[in-house]
Each structure stands twice: as structure tokens, then as C-alpha cells.
Amino acid sequence: MTNDNGAGIPPSRGAGVLLIDRRGWILLQLRDAHGAYPHHWGTVGGQVEAGESPDVAARRELAEETGYVADALWQGAEMMLTLPDGTARLATLFVAHYDGLQPILCHEGAAITFVDPVALDSLPIYPGQAALIRMALRSWSERDQDSMEKHC
């Protein structure tokens, strides 16, 4: 794999979590003025550190940014994104159910809240995130449908 400029540099890895509540709403974080894509909404997540697997990174980022500790994670989607500096990042988005018990805190960013997925088109979401979220939601929906059919 190469980055977008063809320099033979492997893409960085990113991992995040799409937390879904009982209404089907998704947890999104409003980025603050620091870092990439300020004042844009996105999922909780960040860079996969050296020696870390994407699922471990996703759990770490979720806990660091929200204080929430997820139970089961399911890989929902993966795609190549381009960072503001033009480098490629392979982003893996995991999906988890929100237990409704643990509080969601905002340790990073300007705000964090559950959002109805139909609002995705009306929010400033950083490039590639909306497509990644929709892919993960489709996969999650298909997974739930398959699970229901197996139990009928």
C-alpha cells in the first residue's frame, strides 16, 4: 500500500467507535479549534499507535475522549481517508451499543452528543466521515437483520 502521493509510504492507521444508543442515534464529537478539521463533527477515535491493533486503539480512544468503556465492538467499516496534509490514513470504524448506564463525558473536543443519523447531511462533518459512518450503519443493520433471521 502507498500513500496518496505514491511515495511508497504506508498509510497511517486510525480507529474509532460509532456508539449507538437504544434510539439508533449515534455518538458524534464536535472538534475544537485544535487539530485536524476544527469545528467539524466526527466519530470518537484517533491514530493507532505502534504495536496496537485497531480494536485496542478504538477502545483506548473511546475511554480517553469520553470516559466510556465499551463492551463488545464489531468492525463496521474501513476506508482510506486523506488527512489535511494530504497523507493517507486507513480508518477502521467499530460499532458498539451504548449501555445507557455509563455517563458520556467530553474530555476532548468542543462537544459530544448522540445525534439522529438522518441529521448527517445537515452537520459539518469532516471529509470521509459521513461515508464511513453510513457504511458502518449499513453493515450494523445487516448484521442485526442476519442475527434476527437466525433466531426466527
Q: Name the 3-class secondary structure at 82.
A: strand
Domain range for 82 is 12-151
- CATH number, domain of 48, equals 3.90.79.10
Determine the pLDDT at residue 31. Answer: 94
| In-domain check, residue 44 | yes
Q: Which pTM does this prediction carry? A: 0.88
Question: What's the confidence (pLDDT) of residue 27?
Answer: 98
Report yes or no on 137 lying in a domain.
yes
Q: Is 91 exposed, middle or buried (0-12, 13-18, 19+ CB in 10 A)?
A: buried
Coil, helix or strand for 86? coil
pLDDT of residue 36: 82
At residue 35, the pLDDT reads 79
Phi, psi for residue 93 in degrees, rounded to 5: -110, 120
For residue 116, tell me if it sits in a domain.
yes
C-alpha cell at 58: 478504538
Per-residue pLDDT of the chain (152 residues; tens, 9 = 90+): 334 445 567 889 999 999 999 999 999 999 999 878 899 999 999 999 999 999 999 999 999 999 999 999 999 999 999 888 888 999 999 999 999 999 999 999 999 999 999 999 999 998 899 999 999 999 998 876 555 455 44
* In a domain? residue 7: no
How many domains are there within the chain? 1
Question: In sequence order, what are the beta bridge partners of 92?
Answer: 15, 78
